[in-house]
Amino acid sequence: MITVAVVEDDARIRRTVQEVLAKAKDCRCVAAFSNGSTAAEELPALKPDVILMDINLPDISGVECVAQISPQLPKSEIIMLTVFQDPDTIFQALAAGAHGYLVKPVMPSKLLEAIREIRNGGVPMSPSIARNVIDYFRRAGSAQAAPESAVATPLSEVDPEKNDSVLGPREQQVVEALVEGYSYKEIAGKLDISIWTVATYVRRIYEKLHVCSRREIIAKVSIKK
Amino acid sequence: MLTSCSVIMRRAFLALLVLSGRATAVEEIQIHQIEIDGSDYAVPLEGPITVVAMAGRLRLDFSGPVLDGIRLRYRLEGVDKSWQDPPNFMRIQIQFMDERKDIVGSIDFPIRGETPGWRQAVELSDFVPRRESMLVPAMSRSASLSILSHGHDDGVGVLGLDRIRFLVTPADGKTTKEYPLDATSGEKMDQRQGSPRFWYKGFGNRAEIAELRHRPGPQPRPILVLNDIDPQRYGNWTLINQPLPVAEGDMVTLTWDEAHSIGRSGRHIAEYTGLKPGNYAFKAELCAVDGTPTGRVITIPLVVVPPLHQRWYFWIGALTIAAGLGAWAGHAFKRRRLMQRLAELERVHALERERERIARDLHDNIGAGLTEIAMLSDWVYDDLEAYQGDDTKGRVERIRQSAMELARSVDEIVWAINPANDDLKRFANYLMQASSQFLGATTIRVRYQIPQDLPPLPISGKIRHNLFLVVREALNNTVKYAQASLVRIELDAADQIIRLVVEDDGVGFAVAHTGSDGTHEGLSSMEQRMTDIGGVLHLVTLPGRGTRIELQVHVPPGSQGHP
């Protein structure tokens, strides 16, 4: 049984999502919240398997809510729901700790499919998100190579295995192919690896993104202080 | 001549704003900053100050003391019809608990502003009915209710609740159980600090904010009141020893009558845009938490003077001499044009905010509603799967299709209106996102050729929207008619020219036959869209050779029209 929590301010959509989950045999809606701050307080104790999170919430944004809860919920998968096809905001949410997103109107069957898929380790990455990922790691990489010593470490010498700010060569290949529009299956063929390995690379890219952006948030907070 | 003209035109857009008069000195109210179009102005409490600026945006940062019993209001006379409250809210909260009493869900119903018929004393005010519903989440065994005065920092105000009913309707919808939750009996019920049965005030961090009052009548009715005089602490009424049993799938409905006036103390920023020439007065007032005026008011007179009269006359005069024309008609005409231009620029800021507001409203209301319709009709369609050959299925499918397409159009309009997207990079992101999602539902593969480093180029909502709709139409045609297996989308820009290519490897068609068989009827509308934005469309296709559509549009610098 997959336990699911819903954070959605629109009562109509929240109700429909709850009903969809109630009908599914393998899912159980354990909590529903109409605002981000209550959700951020209550969710860590509930530890649901999957959290469906609206991006536009009335108090704190869905992105902020994800940033608050995701470090406390390493085992929960967060799927963003958005009426708005706004790739920049979606990317922020993914960087903050979400693993996927669905653009509304989400058909009930698609919603359940996405929940099941993410529980089975499948993480999607659209071309526009991949594009943002490349931009992000370029900035992160150059920001890291620049300061401290006058002699900057060339990017090529940074060991990607030990460094979260840099994508490994295979990860880079995967993300570049995604930007061009290749599907996981096509990438598997192109790089001669299994489709599961492609999914693993994508998951690792997301993890690096989370670690990296969390560090960025911490850095920002300590600068403020 | 042309250059000097444009310089003068730009200057004429500047408006002269004069802050004058003597501000009434009320010690407790402080104006920290006046900002006009991004520039700061010191605020002397005595003597007039003169400011030359574009009166596009006025921003006042002010505060009152954070003390018990004090609330801060403001208004700009000439704009605001009544006193304005900085935003704050109180709320009613339903919490759902499982059998171990752990919280498994909660919902807040915020209460804001002032109810019509507010008469300072809450018990004498008009009460307004309200009704809210929610589906009970899984694992819930019981529900509880709280009324909290805890909203924003520095929040104060008064809230009264009467006729509170909690209704539980099980999923079968047959029977509804009703729980009347008014404070009808208890100890010291005639006193404000009485203790009604079932309601507890100890959970707030200042208990006496929770009060009992009586609505007058032949039989005075006790009502629950939050009289929040404390900017820093809050009070609660929480339902205890009155279990409200619920089960997953039940529909719970809460109804109540409310009267309230809710505001804040402390510091606040008031903003105004697009002020027309005229006299204004900014006022900030300290009042009691229930809105009773105290007479402690600060006033700052503002005069927005029509822009640069003298320079216009000078310019018009100079132009007249230079051209050797002295006709009064000419003067009047030019001056009117300038006035129009000026008014237009004053509207630009207001317009941008308006665009943001429309985008938000469309998204919140229409987008969410259509989403619900689409989801529900999809579901009904699945339910009807068993009834084969039933026309109803086809009609439901049409509802679903229509709702989905409308939701998508709303999404596109929201995106096009929002000024934050007036940029090539964001256009590229959106184009990729929408097209990959659209083609993802088909068997057609897609390839993007879009450089990672696109030049930063501002594009107006009009150009973005039209370009996007042309691409969408092209993809529609590909999916419907082309029998293609691959689509290539190219986007690039150089020298302010955007180039977009959509190409498929499908069956193509003979251009001469366009339209006769009903296919590619969208072609002329695509051409029309490109013409509307001053762009061109090239179509290359032959039967069996795929279809290639190339779009080019020149984006003038600052084409979005807003500095």
CA nearest neighbour of A15 among B252, B363, B74: B252
Task: Give chain A's count of helices (H) and strands (E).
Answer: 9, 5
Q: Are B250 and B134 within one domain? A: yes
Check which CATH number belongs to the domain holding B506 and give it.
Answer: 3.30.565.10
Confirm whether B7 is domain-assigned: no
**Residues whose CB falls within 8 Å of the CB of residue B14, separated by 6 or more in sequence, listed in order:** B52, B53, B54, B307, B308
Q: Are B538 and B447 within one domain? A: yes
The pair of structure tokens assigned to B498 is 């955007």
Domain count for chain B, please give it: 4
Residue A87: list chain B partners with CB under 8 A: 426, 429-430, 432-433
Confirm whether B433 is domain-assigned: yes
**Segments of A34-174 assigned E as strands:** 50-54, 77-82, 100-103
- Residue listed under structure tokens 């202080």: A225
The tally of CA atoms less than 13 A away on the side-chain side of residue B91 is: 16
Q: Which of A9, A29, A125 is the best residue to mutate to test the B interface, defined by the most B CB atoms within 10 Å of its own CB?
A: A29
Q: Are B102 and B157 within one domain? A: yes
Q: Are B416 and B465 within one domain? A: no
Can you say whether the dihedral through the CA atoms of B358, B364, B366, B370 is positive or negative?
Answer: positive
Q: Which of B364, B433, B449, B468 is the best residue to mutate to test the A interface, defined by the most A CB atoms within 10 Å of its own CB?
A: B433
Cβ-nearest to A34 among B108, B430, B432: B108
CB contacts < 8 A, A to B, total 157
Q: Are B58 and B107 within one domain? A: no
Q: Are B383 and B523 within one domain? A: no
Residue type (1 letter), B279: N
Residue A172: list chain B partners with CB under 8 A: none
Q: What is the pLDDT of residue B342?
A: 64
**Residues whose CB falls within 8 Å of the CB of residue B517, separated by 6 or more in sequence, listed in order:** none
**CA-to-CA separations, B422 to B44, B119, B135, B534, in angstroms, rounded:** 40, 48, 40, 17
- C-alpha–C-alpha distance, residues A76 and A70, integer Å: 8
Name the CA dihedral angle for B526, B550, B413, B401, rounded to a multiple of 10 degrees. 70
Cβ-nearest to B379 among A56, A108, A135: A108
Q: Boundaries of CATH 3.40.50.2300 in chain A?
A: 2-119
CA nearest neighbour of B252 among B161, B166, B139, B181: B166
Confirm whether B76 is domain-assigned: no
Q: Are B148 and B228 within one domain? A: yes
The pair of structure tokens assigned to B554 is 């020149």
Q: Which of B135, B405, B424 is the best residue to mutate to test the A interface, defined by the most A CB atoms within 10 Å of its own CB?
A: B135
Phi, psi of A49 (to 5 degrees): -70, -40
- C-alpha–C-alpha distance, residues B323 and B325, integer Å: 5
Residue B258: beta bridge partners?
B128, B161
Q: What is the pLDDT along chain B (563 residues), one digit of tens a residue?
A: 333 333 333 332 333 333 433 333 445 788 877 777 666 666 655 444 444 444 556 788 888 888 888 899 999 888 888 888 888 889 998 988 888 888 888 888 889 889 999 998 999 999 999 998 888 888 889 999 999 987 777 889 999 999 999 999 998 878 889 999 988 888 888 888 888 988 988 777 888 899 999 999 888 889 999 999 998 888 899 998 888 999 988 889 999 999 999 999 888 888 887 777 677 788 889 999 998 888 888 887 777 665 554 445 545 555 555 565 455 555 666 667 767 766 666 666 666 766 776 777 776 667 777 878 888 888 787 777 766 666 777 788 888 888 888 888 888 888 888 888 888 998 999 999 889 988 988 899 999 999 988 988 889 888 998 999 999 999 988 998 889 999 999 999 988 899 999 999 998 877 655 544 444 567 888 888 898 888 999 988 888 888 999 999 998 765 444 43
Tell me, yes or no, if B376 comes closer than 8 A to chain A by beta carbon: yes
Residue A103: list chain B partners with CB under 8 A: 411, 437
User: How close A218 gets to chain B, by Cα (Å)?
Assistant: 25
Confirm whether B252 is domain-assigned: yes
Task: Answer yes or no: do A22 and B249 touch at CB < 8 A.
Answer: yes
**Residues whose CB falls within 8 Å of the CB of residue A207, separated by 6 or more in sequence, listed in order:** none
DSSP helix/strand/coil, B412: helix
Domain-ending residue, one of B421, B455, B490: B421
Confirm whether B182 is domain-assigned: yes
Cβ-nearest to A12 among B372, B410, B449: B372
Task: Answer yes or no: do B135 and A106 touch at CB < 8 A.
Answer: no
Domain-ending residue, one of B214, B233, B264: B264
Q: Are B98 and B244 within one domain? A: yes
- C-alpha–C-alpha distance, residues B340 and B321, integer Å: 24
Task: Answer yes or no: do A16 and B376 touch at CB < 8 A.
Answer: yes
Cβ-nearest to B371 among A13, A29, A132: A13
Label the pairing between strands A50-54 and A2-7: parallel
Chain A residue with CA closest to B365: the answer is A10
Q: What is the pLDDT of residue B441?
A: 81
Q: What is the pLDDT of residue B19?
A: 40
User: How close B5 gets to chain A, by Cα (Å)?
Assistant: 41
The segments of chain A whose pLDDT lies below 50 read: 146-158, 224-225
Q: Are B251 and B278 within one domain? A: no
Residue A33: list chain B partners with CB under 8 A: 105-107
**Residues whose CB falls within 8 Å of the CB of residue B157, separated by 6 or more in sequence, listed in order:** B71, B88, B90, B149, B228, B260, B261, B262, B263, B289, B290
Confirm whether B451 is domain-assigned: yes
Confirm whether B116 is domain-assigned: yes
DSSP helix/strand/coil, B308: coil
Confirm whether B320 is domain-assigned: no
Q: Out of 3.50.50.60, 3.40.50.2300, 3.40.50.300, 3.40.1410.10, select the CATH number for domain A2-119.
A: 3.40.50.2300
Q: What is the pLDDT of residue B312?
A: 52
Domain-ending residue, one of B380, B402, B421: B421
**CA-to-CA separations, B80 to B38, B75, B157, B158, B422, in angstroms, rounded:** 22, 6, 21, 23, 32
Domain range holding B257?
89-264
The answer to whether B297 and B24 have CB atoms below 8 angstroms apart is: yes
